[in-house]
């Protein structure tokens, strides 16, 4: 029997309909809702550069060098990783699967991978910016910023440090784009909305402090104290060498009473830290410096106050970490305030004579940023001093005519 072309096509159509019905009954599972799964795929989806190329990517991401054919080609080869990071940035959930029960040994390898991925995304932003693709460049910056926020969702202190490092670098790229381009009102308003959304996602510093307190408190038992012994070799900390040497001897003989007294001393320190960080910045910083002196610096001779041994060994400089969080929050606030000013310029055609009310604040002073117009833009200056670095930060922005 001869089969005509029309009958053949009709028959194939029926077969496809039947197959489609069968596939619908065996529906594919939905895409992952956990952003971490996409980030892990992104980490594995690009070839790691050699040392020379890695340095070029790093410098390009920071705006120190312009893109060249080699870096453009390499970043293009990382397209899949960037696409995965972009998809991950749109998801709400991000659980890295960290085994917190392993305490000091809890894996944080994704932190280093996230920083490497960030540099690739930031480099892509710089390339797009150099090609006047401003929306694409800003989208890369926002993708990178969300990567940092997602890393910071882990309660480990190191995740906070990675988040802030990414936040700072991403903000610098946005600052450069704002200064060297004339963005449309739609783009500026979208940028404002996204930055405001990110601001609501940032974990407060006490989130990490509480997790650190809980994690270290797990070592305040005779058995767990012995487990930490190998983590404190004699020359571990240059500022704690004398304490470490004597602490090793004390820890070898730790008993229930030693553990109980050390836990009590440790928790007493934290009970004063939390109220301190709720104070306005100048008072908070000074109080944290005072507490560091009281609980750590004055107890470096472990033999004189054995109950302080674990606090001295396991604590970090609270004032420095707190100050680090404020520095980065202030930069983000300055950036958000600057976007508001760019919106006014786009609407009115000129810079405002004074800073509009209701903008993000300078946390160092607790008030508004000092606003000053310049020949080619404006400067936002902190009115409060950074007491750790002994300087008044200022952020310069240019306005394209």
CA–CA distance from 14 to each of 2, 7, 25, 27 (Å)? 19, 11, 17, 20
Q: Higher pLDDT residue, 301 or 60?
A: 60
d(CA 274, CA 270) in angstroms, rounded, equals: 6
Tell me the two tokens of residue 379.
Answer: 């400067």
Question: What is the pLDDT, as a whole number, of residue 365?
Answer: 97
Residue 160, pLDDT above cutoff 50:
yes
**Range list of H helices, 45-184:** 51-61, 69-77, 79-88, 109-130, 134-151, 157-180
- How far is it, in rounded angstroms, from Cα 212 to Cα 206? 9
Parse the chain into domains and list their residue ranges: 32-203, 208-316, 337-401
Q: Are 53 and 69 in contact (CB under 8 A)?
A: no
Select from 395, 401, 398, 351 the least CA-distant residue to 172.
395
Q: Between the CA of residue 278 and those of 65, 253, 287, 316, what are the distances in Å?
A: 41, 39, 11, 19
Q: Which residues contact 45 (CB under 8 A, 6 or more apart)?
A: 78, 80, 81, 84
Helix axes 281-295, 256-276, angle to 10 degrees: 160
For residue 34, CA distances in Å to 91, 94, 284, 329 come to 7, 5, 37, 26
The predicted pLDDT at position 6 comes to 54
- State pLDDT tens for residues 32-74: 899 999 999 999 999 999 999 999 999 999 999 999 999 999 9
Phi–psi pair at 370, nearest 5 degrees: -80, 130
Helices (H) and strands (E) in the chain, counts: 16, 3
> In this model, does residue 172 exceed pLDDT 70?
yes
Cα(219)–Cα(167) distance, rounded to whole angstroms? 32
Q: Tell me the pLDDT tens digit for each residue of 64-79.
A: 999 999 999 999 999 9
Q: CA 292, CA 150: separation in Å to the nearest integer? A: 30
Beta-strand pair 377-381/394-398: antiparallel
Reported as a single tens digit per residue, the pLDDT across 388-400 is 999 999 999 999 8
Q: Are 252 and 306 in contact (CB under 8 A)?
A: no
DSSP state of 184: -
First CA to last CA distance, the chain:
78
Structure tokens, 273: 């830290």
Q: pTM for the complete prediction?
A: 0.86
Check if the beta carbon of residue 212 is closer than 8 Å to that of residue 103.
Answer: no
Q: Tell me which of 21-25, 217-221, 265-269, 333-337 is least confident.
A: 21-25
- What is the model's pLDDT at position 324? 96
Task: State the DSSP H helix or E strand holding residue 342, giving kind and residue range, or none if neither.
Answer: helix 318-348
What string of DSSP letters covers 58-87? HHHHTTSS---HHHHHHHHHTHHHHHHHHH
What average pLDDT does this structure show over 266-276? 96
């Amino acid at each position: 029997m001869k089969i005509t072309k029309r009958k053949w096509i009709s028959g194939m159509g029926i077969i496809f309909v039947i197959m489609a019905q069968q596939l619908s009954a065996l529906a594919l599972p939905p895409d992952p809702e956990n952003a971490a799964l996409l980030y892990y795929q992104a980490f594995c989806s690009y070839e790691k550069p050699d040392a020379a190329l890695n340095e070029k990517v790093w410098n390009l991401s920071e705006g120190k060098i312009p893109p060249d054919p080699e870096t453009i080609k390499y970043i293009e080869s990382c397209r899949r990783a960037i696409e995965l990071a972009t998809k991950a940035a749109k998801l709400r959930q991000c659980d890295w699967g960290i085994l917190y029960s392993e305490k000091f040994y809890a894996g944080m390898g994704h932190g280093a991978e996230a920083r490497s991925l960030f540099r690739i995304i930031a480099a892509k932003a710089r390339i797009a910016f150099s090609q006047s693709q401003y929306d694409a460049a800003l989208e890369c910056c926002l993708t990178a910023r969300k990567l940092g926020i997602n890393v910071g969702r882990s309660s480990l202190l190191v995740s906070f440090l990675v988040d802030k490092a990414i936040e700072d670098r991403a903000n610098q790229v946005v600052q450069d784009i704002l200064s060297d381009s004339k963005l449309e009102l739609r783009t500026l308003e979208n940028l404002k909305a996204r930055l405001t959304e990110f601001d609501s996602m940032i974990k407060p510093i006490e989130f990490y402090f509480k997790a650190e307190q809980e994690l270290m408190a797990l070592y305040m038992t005779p058995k767990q104290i012995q487990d930490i012994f190998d983590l404190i070799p004699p020359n571990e900390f240059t500022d704690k060498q004398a304490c470490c040497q004597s602490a090793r001897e004390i820890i070898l003989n730790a008993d229930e009473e030693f553990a109980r007294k050390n836990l009590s001393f440790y928790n007493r320190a934290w009970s004063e830290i939390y109220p301190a960080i709720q104070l306005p910045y100048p008072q908070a910083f000074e109080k944290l410096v005072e507490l560091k002196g009281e609980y750590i610096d004055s107890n470096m001779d472990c033999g004189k106050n054995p109950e302080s041994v674990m606090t001295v060994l396991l604590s970090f400089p609270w004032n420095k970490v707190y100050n680090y969080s404020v520095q980065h929050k202030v930069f983000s606030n300055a950036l958000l305030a600057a976007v508001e000013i760019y919106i006014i310029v786009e609407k009115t055609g000129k810079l405002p004579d004074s800073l509009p009310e209701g903008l993000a604040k300078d946390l160092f002073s607790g008030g508004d940023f000092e606003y000053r117009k310049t020949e080619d833009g404006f400067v936002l200056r902190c009115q409060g001093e950074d007491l750790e670095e002994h300087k008044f930060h200022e952020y310069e922005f240019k306005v394209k005519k």
